[in-house]
């Protein structure tokens, strides 16, 4: 019952948020400040929530890693890998939407010296490496233990990415959008649309993690049945 409600809420939230973006929410910049087609700046409404959702997914990996090392319960390892896979998807979407936004704002898809772009790329590569490490280890307990450690230490790339434009503000053209000094969000409709999208993508993240955990559980049951049959 919970899953049906969650999946239904996710669909409704995504549909409503997309409708808000394309038919109600204004262009989030002064058209005179746009380097390209002002309508392209509406990708802002996707980019910011997707980035925040990626951070949340990797925070789940971090917490799950700690809990696995404390309890040795397999469910925490399953939750970690599920969140990491979803997080990698959101991280690559962050890079793609950010590049499209950059093309309109700065005239090029990638500013090589920009600290936010580079730390976001490092974030993506860190958790892609996390998944590759998992694939390279066959023994379940060892894989879970090493993955937990990797996920804990790899989490440093999250605050590094988020704070990069504040720590090295002279090495970025990326605006501060969230938090003190933020200049990218103003107006009730703009803020409301961004918040609605954040909720929608968090619901989507939760749904993906639950589905992935169920698939992992089924895979484990199938493996156990095969082992028993062979015996």
Q: Give the whole-angstrom CA distance, residue 35 versus residue 38.
A: 8
Contacts of 66 by beta carbon, 8 Å cutoff, 6+ apart? 148, 152
Q: What angle do CA 43, 44, 45 make, to 5 degrees?
A: 85
Would you say residue 61 lies in a domain?
yes
Domain limits for position 191: 2-26+38-230
Would you say residue 185 lies in a domain?
yes
Would you say residue 133 lies in a domain?
yes
pLDDT tens by residue, 186-220: 567 778 888 999 999 999 999 999 999 998 888 77
Q: Please name which of 60, 223, 79 lies closest in space to residue 138, comparing C-alpha atoms.
A: 223
pLDDT tens by residue, 43-77: 888 999 999 999 999 999 999 999 999 999 999 99
pLDDT tens by residue, 13-34: 999 999 998 888 887 665 555 5
Q: Please name which of 93, 94, 69, 90 lies closest in space to residue 80, comparing C-alpha atoms.
A: 69
Q: Residues of the chain with pLDDT > 70: what percent?
A: 83
For the segment 155-162, the average pLDDT, to the nearest whole number, is 92
Could you tell me the two tokens for 101?
A: 């936004």
CB 97 within 8 A of CB 132: no
Residue position matching structure tokens 């028993």: 228
Would you say residue 201 lies in a domain?
yes
The number of domains in the chain is 1
Q: What is the DSSP letter of 26?
A: P
Q: What is the DSSP letter of 176?
A: P
Coil, strand or helix: which one is 155? coil
Contacts of 88 by beta carbon, 8 Å cutoff, 6+ apart? 124, 127, 128, 131
**pTM of the full predicted structure?**
0.88
Would you say residue 19 lies in a domain?
yes
Would you say residue 33 lies in a domain?
no
């Amino acid at each position: 019952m919970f899953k049906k409600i969650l999946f239904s809420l996710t669909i409704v939230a995504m549909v409503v948020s997309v409708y808000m973006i394309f038919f109600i929410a204004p262009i989030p910049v002064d058209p005179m400040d746009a380097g390209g087609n002002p309508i392209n700046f509406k990708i802002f409404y996707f980019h910011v929530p997707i980035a925040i959702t990626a951070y949340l997914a990797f925070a789940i990996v971090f917490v799950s890693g700690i809990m696995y090392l404390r309890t040795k319960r397999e469910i925490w390892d399953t939750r970690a890998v599920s969140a990491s896979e979803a997080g990698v998807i959101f991280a690559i979407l962050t890079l793609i939407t950010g590049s499209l936004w950059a093309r309109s704002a700065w005239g090029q898809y990638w500013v090589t010296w920009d600290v936010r772009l580079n730390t976001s790329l490092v974030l993506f590569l860190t958790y892609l490496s996390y998944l590759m490490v998992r694939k390279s280890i066959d023994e379940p307990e060892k894989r879970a233990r090493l993955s937990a450690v990797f996920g804990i230490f790899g989490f440093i790339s999250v605050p590094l990415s988020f704070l990069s434009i504040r720590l090295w503000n002279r090495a970025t053209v990326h605006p501060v959008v969230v938090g003190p000094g933020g200049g990218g969000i103003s107006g009730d409709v703009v803020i409301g649309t961004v918040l609605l999208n954040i909720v929608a993508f968090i619901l989507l993240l939760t749904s993906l993690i639950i589905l992935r955990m169920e698939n992992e559980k089924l895979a484990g049951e199938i493996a156990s049945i095969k082992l028993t049959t062979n015996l």
